[in-house]
Structure 1
Amino acid sequence: MKNLNSEKQRYKELGDFLKTRRDRILPSQVGLSEGLRRRTPGLRREEVAALAGIGLTWYTWLEQGRPIQVSAQVIESLSRVLMLDKQERIHLYTLAKQVPQADITSYERTVSPMLQHVLDNLVLSPAFIMDTRWNIIAWNKAACLVFTDFSKINMHKRNMVWMMFTNANYKQLFIDWKFHAQGMLARFRSNCGQYIEDSWLVQFVQELKRESMEFDLWWSKHDVQRNSEIYKKLNHPIVGTLVFEFSSFEVSDDPSLKLIVNTPFSETDTDMKIKLLLDK
């Protein structure tokens, strides 16, 4: 009996939560007319149901606290229509006994001094830290000298994938750009599969499709790939050919961050050329 009562209370809480969030949304916020005979302070039930793409009867049962199963897709639609913030969205998923869809968040802080110290001590190895969105958030001097001065790039464009497809100087570094670009895109898609409905990712892909014909073409192929790149061969405008062993590591203190290290290949003179760049 206790479990039955708790389930009833959860369904009632779900219905009440939906009603309070419906009441606070103005029709104008979702592109609807206010109308002259509107009695409710916010949206009507039929308006929420239509905007969310679900049946009115079914939505009415939800608000009435009836014991019906709610899919994650419906919860996501209702979260969008009711303009829920992150905490409200999580709460709605919890009440519906569903797992929230993952968000692909950016890293809004600077890395710790200790992590920057690690980067700086990789003197001859161009290295940087990137977040879940593949934004470059920290780097060492060698990385700036070999790839580009990241500090001079707008933080919204300081993204590995964006640079690979839109930054002409960065693209020209790669001797076989097509191979590296396709491989990077396949790894990016593989990493972001769990966030495919994330609003940032949707917008990012749309913008890159407009900026790059190659991205538009290759994204539609749906290629996926894990980290299989071992060597990176570049044609630097000052010192010529550079060959690196490519390594990627999760940061133990924050799994959302990755440390990317390009180690000079031992059978080449890459380390000597990096020293020349550092001494200039």
Structure 2
Amino acid sequence: MAVQPTVRSRGGAQQARRTELAAFLRSRRARITPEDVGMPPGLRRRTPGLRREEVAQLAGVGVTWYTWLEQGRPINASVQVLDAVARVLQLDVTEREHLYRLAGIPFVPEPVSDVEAVGAEVQGVLDALCPLPAVVLNARYDVQASNVAYRTLWPMASMVERWERNIIYKLFTVPDCCSTIVNSSEEVPWMVAQLRRSYGRHVGEPAWESFIALLLKESPHFAQLWARADVAAPGRRVKIFRHQTVGTIELTSMSLSIDGMAEHRIVVYTPVAEEDRLRMQRLRDIDDPVIGCPVHGRPLSEVLADGARPTPSRRTA
């Protein structure tokens, strides 16, 4: 007899999420001892860990409210309350994100440095790959960390505010004359198709939806490519970059997965020919390279002095 799949209603899915939230909170509470939060151990504790009323007291919330939350009742939790509970339960970033998702609250991680974002070991790998440019990207093409060679080739993908360090965003918000990709007609549609494939795993997530909405608003070209609904998987590519000081550089990109960092990859660029390697070396030897096209370009030192903004109106990558 064939087994019919179970179709879970929206209400059933919400109840399942609340049940999972309750179980998660109980498990995290059980691992925190009174000593961990500066409280005396006390007597007559039937189980290890904090009591519900102790978590509520330390988080500054009502005992009844927290009890209902841990029982999986249909109550609403604010960001401030979840932050307080997460602090008391000593949740790490991954656990906090899980807590927020189960509670139905968008999770916005706190800003971190590159080393904090990827870990010292991964940053060490990036640095060891020099003089090859290397970068850590997530599924949305956010630049999480990079090495000196990468920042030399594409400084404006690293020196801007963290929210703006996104390859796709930079590609679609620069004037055409300032674009550094020569074969953009081939590479840009492929990158959008790869972004579309990743988006399929994150439909409805606030961070992704706001990012796509921003691109649709900023770039008619992106909107046109996005409307195609093409999808593509990561793979080895040949990218041709243009720098007004040294000319064109052809690089082969290769993606490497990272243990323990889902949907992140190290992208390494290797020169296609000897002349490409020599041009990369010439670029590294320039003390103050010009950023941008011949019309809008300015020395890197001026860009940095002006708050990492290459032109008055548009941003370059």
Q: How many residue pairs were aligned?
A: 202
2-structure distance, mates of 1:139, 1:104 = 22
Give the equivalent residue in structure 1 for 2:59. none
Deviations 1:82-103 (A, max 9, x none): 76866666657xxxxxxx9x98
Query: Does residue 1:246 correspond to 2:225, yes or no?
Result: no
Return the match for 1:272 from 268, 278, 296: 278
SS where residue 278 of structure 2 aligns?
Answer: helix
Give the equivalent residue in structure 2 for 1:52. none
2-structure distance, mates of 1:91, 1:126 = 39
Structure-2-length-normalised TM-score: 0.55
- The letter of the residue matching 2:128 is N
CA RMSD of aligned residues (A): 3.6
Give the equivalent residue in structure 1 for 2:119. 112
SS where residue 117 of structure 2 aligns?
Answer: coil
Structure 1 residues 244 and 180, CA, compared in 2 at 3 Å: closer, same or farther? same
Give the equivalent residue in structure 2 for 1:209. 216
Query: Does residue 1:148 correspond to 2:155, yes or no?
Result: yes
1-structure distance, mates of 2:177, 2:260 = 30
Structure-1-length-normalised TM-score: 0.61
Structure 1 residues 223 and 106, CA, compared in 2 at 3 Å: closer, same or farther? farther
2-structure distance, mates of 1:241, 1:256 = 31
1-structure distance, mates of 2:111, 2:255 = 18
Query: Does residue 1:178 correspond to 2:188, yes or no?
Result: no
Deviations 1:203-246 (A, max 9, x none): 11111111101011111111111124521111122111111111
Give the equivalent residue in structure 2 for 1:5. none
- The letter of the residue matching 2:191 is M
Deviations 1:168-212 (A, max 9, x none): 489611112232111101001112211111111111111111110
Contact 1:163 1:170 survives alignment (8 Å): no
Deviation at 1:104, TM superposition (A): 10
Contact 1:164 1:171 survives alignment (8 Å): no
Structure 1 residues 207 and 112, CA, compared in 2 at 3 Å: closer, same or farther? same
1-structure distance, mates of 2:259, 2:136 = 13
Gaps of 5+ in 1: 1-9, 18-62, 64-77, 93-99
Query: Does residue 1:260 correspond to 2:267, yes or no?
Result: yes
Structure 1 residues 112 and 196, CA, compared in 2 at 3 Å: closer, same or farther? same
Deviation at 1:105, TM superposition (A): 7.6
1-structure distance, mates of 2:278, 2:247 = 12
| Percent identity for Structure 1 against Structure 2 | 20
Q: Which of 172-181 and 203-212 deviates more? A: 172-181
Give the equivalent residue in structure 2 for 1:227. 234
2-structure distance, mates of 1:83, 1:123 = 45
Structure 1 residues 103 and 259, CA, compared in 2 at 3 Å: closer, same or farther? farther
Q: Which of 105-114 and 153-162 deviates more? A: 105-114
Structure 1 residues 261 and 124, CA, compared in 2 at 3 Å: closer, same or farther? same
Structure 1 residues 88 and 244, CA, compared in 2 at 3 Å: closer, same or farther? closer
2-structure distance, mates of 1:131, 1:107 = 16
SS where residue 201 of structure 2 aligns?
Answer: helix
Gaps of 5+ in 2: 1-14, 23-72, 83-96, 287-317
Structure 1 residues 222 and 168, CA, compared in 2 at 3 Å: closer, same or farther? same
